[in-house]
Structure 1
Amino acid sequence: MYSRLVSETLFTPPNTGCNVLQHKVLCAVPIGVYLLLLHSRATMSRWKDMNKDELERQFSPSQWSHRMSADDVIKSHVTALKEGTERARGLAQTLLNVPYGEGEGEKLDVYVPTTTSLDVPLVIYLHGGYWQFLSKEESGFMAVPLVHKGVVVVAVGYDIAPKGNMDVMVSQVRRSVVSVIQQYSHISGLYLCGHSAGAHLAAMILSTDWSQYSVTPQIKGAFLVSGIYDLLPILSTYVNEPLKMTEEVALRNSPSQLVPQLKLSSSNCDIVVAVAQNDSPEFRKQSEDYYKALESTEGLKVTLEDVPNTDHFNIIEQLVDGDYHLTQLLLKMMGKS
């Protein structure tokens, strides 16, 4: 299943109420919005020119691994995450199934360092799986090298499809952040890390209008790994079968559409957009386009990490290794390298 799970890339222009080519005369469109409109049109023509088979292949990460077959890379990925999580639970102090809401799936797993230091950062990890696969039960794999350096790791559970829809999942992860900062107010800094669909959810957290919530989280950094930032292309693929998204739902849940809100909510956040060398061309374009949209927005701090000799899966699996480039980068972001 997950071997074919993939899809995203583009965003249609928002309704500005004017002809973009005549915007200087007919309406006042900020230059950032204008550039975003031009970018979105170019992106749209690219994926819309693909037939269904090519579109689904481009957005199926397992088809692009150089290490093993599509089926085997999925099996290996799940095994690596499970074994890493089991190891972390055996080595770290844990608080499992901590509720952040009333729903059955609204639970957190917390990996706690043994330290008396007052400098205790916390990183929230959001798992991938195309919003329909994996869970927090396989999401503690990266805890060992982080806990060893005095970092609290929180793996978030959310209701994947078909039980949960996109609006529900986005709401859940946002509420999980609110719960974490209420329960762990003593931390020195809050950080996000998400992989694939989890990177999408992390980007949606960064783009939250916190006036609707009881608190405003001060998120210091975010690690977005091989993410998906535009949901429109998956509407016409099998990926959307359990999600059942409409175009309206896809648009309001596409981080590529929400850069202005991200600037308002997360301008003080250091953002790393990471992509695997052997992600598909369209998957790589997702990260590159989102990075460019953020980088061209005044006031945002963002870097792009193109990680060599990795595919969509081992780019995140290797966070079990304290010497891995992204592990070191994450620790450096938190002041723990």
Structure 2
Amino acid sequence: MAQWRDMKKDELEKQYSPSQWSHRMAADDVIRVHVASLREGTQTARGVARTLLDVPYGEGEGEKLDIYMPSSSSSNLPLVIYLHGGYWQFLSKEESGFMAASLVPKGVAVVAVGYDIAPKGNMDLMVSQVRRSVLSVLQQYPRVSGVYLCGHSAGAHLAAMVLCTDWTQYGVSPQIKGAFLVSGIYDLLPILSTYVNEPLKMTEEVALRNSPGQLVPELKKASSACHIVVAVAQNDSPEFRKQSEDYFKALKSSGLTVTFEDVPNTDHFNIIEQFVDEDYYLTQLLLKIIG
């Protein structure tokens, strides 16, 4: 398989355009259907959960969370923090509560995190925001039985950056028990010369310090007890698949607890959309890890 450095710009752009690889429908349609599906799932979740919406975790306008709680009064529940995708420039927490539709009835709380997408937010700010969002959730719910991260695409990148956090700077030591990284990007260098970087305006320096693949020693130090699942869609692009495979191998060779899931009959979008279904393979796997 060609390394990204050998690719012409148009080939690289195609590799990093997930909608062009879906076998289900045309590129524009798959994105439109994706957004509609996430919105519908989030509406369903708001019907089954007790919700706390627009809870601030910082001073910024975009620094808000939506919390989906089971009706049971126990505070000693597992809690999943979801970080949305959208290439750091699209989507919001408003479409990001869909996982709660299948998890809340099983007694799992779900938090959907908002952050300042580009061009308002830059990469350093977004990483800082999601770290502070996790900190805020831990302070708000200190008695939860376990914290689990889930991120899709750009959100998987941000979840991986959370796992690398030096929490001593924040004066805490959170026990993140599990992380589901779904169709993520772990090396930002290949996207520097593509359309993806136009609103982000990352330099090589910014891309390197925010590439989880470069930060495996930091992750090992911060999150050695975490069970990490690296999941990728059968119909993700070869370059997206390679990113997941390479990141999984780097984690595994560092002795971390990590599993690789190559999910059949999925593309970049429905691999996450199907979390609304409690019988979906990845939903079942998440519930199993939560125990």
Tell me the percent identity: 80
1:138 aligns with one of 95, 106, 111: 95
Tell whether 2:260 aligns with 1:313. no
Counterpart Cα distance in 1 of 2:105 and 2:39: 19
- Report how far residue 118 of structure 1 moved: 6.0
Answer yes or no: is 1:280 the counterpart of 2:202: no
Structure 2 distance, partners of 1:117, 1:180, is 16
- Pick aligned residue for 1:217 from 174, 185, 200: 174
Residue 238 of structure 1: CA displacement? 1.0
For the pair 1:257 / 2:218, whether they are aligned, the reply is: no
1:209-234 deviation digits (Å, cap 9, x = unpaired): 11111312110000000000000011
3-state SS in 1 of match to 2:259: strand
Does 1:328 find its partner at 2:253? Answer: no
Deviation digits for residues 1-34 of structure 1, max 9, x if unmatched? xxxxxxxxxxxxxxxxxxxxxxxxxxxxxxxxxx
Deviations for 1:40-68, whole angstroms, at most 9, x for unmatched residues? xxx9x710110000000011100000000
Map 1:243-254 to 2 at 5 A: 243-254=200-211
Name which one, 1 or 2, has greater alpha-carbon Rg: 1
> Which residue of structure 2 aligns with residue 6 of structure 1?
none
Q: Distance in 1 between matches of 2:233 and 2:134?
A: 27
2:285, 2:249 → 1: CA distance?
Answer: 20
Which residue number corresponds to residue 33 of structure 2?
Answer: 76
Instruction: Name the amino acid aligned to 2:165.
Output: T
Instruction: Give distance in 2, aligned partners of 1:68 and 1:118.
Output: 43
| C-alpha distance in 2 between matches for 1:241 and 1:151 | 38
Rounded to whole Å, the distance in 2 between the matches of 1:193 and 1:109 is 15
Aligned to 1:147: 104
Q: What runs of 5+ residues in structure 1 fail to find an aligned partner? A: 1-42
The offset of 1:95, in angstroms, is: 0.2
Q: How do residues 1-337 of structure 1 correspond to structure 2 at under 5 angstroms?
A: 46-117=3-74, 119-298=76-255, 300-335=256-291
1:39: which partner in 2?
none
- Root-mean-square deviation over aligned CA pairs: 1.1
Once superposed, which parts of structure 1, at least 4 consecutive aligned residues long, lie more than 2 Å away? Answer: 116-119
Counterpart-to-counterpart distance in 2, 1:268 and 1:98: 29
Q: Secondary structure at the match of 1:216?
A: coil
1 CA distance for matches of 2:165 and 2:73? Answer: 33
SS in structure 2 of the partner of residue 224 of structure 1: strand
Give the distance between the partners of 1:217 and 1:170, measured in 2 at CA. Answer: 17
Question: Quick one: which amino acid aligns to residue 198 of structure 1?
Answer: G
Q: Secondary structure at the match of 1:260?
A: helix
1:70-93 deviation per Cα after TM superposition (whole angstroms, max 9, x unaligned): 000000000000111111112211
SS of residue in 1 equivalent to 2:3? helix
The alpha carbon displacement at 1:200 in A equals 0.2
**What letter matches 1:171 in structure 2?**
S
**Which residue type is aligned with residue 121 of structure 1?**
P
Q: Which runs of 5+ in 2 are unaligned?
A: none
1:116 Cα deviation after fit: 4.4
Inter-partner Cα distance in structure 1 for 2:48 and 2:134: 25
User: For residue 93 of structure 1, what is the amino acid of its counterpart?
Assistant: R
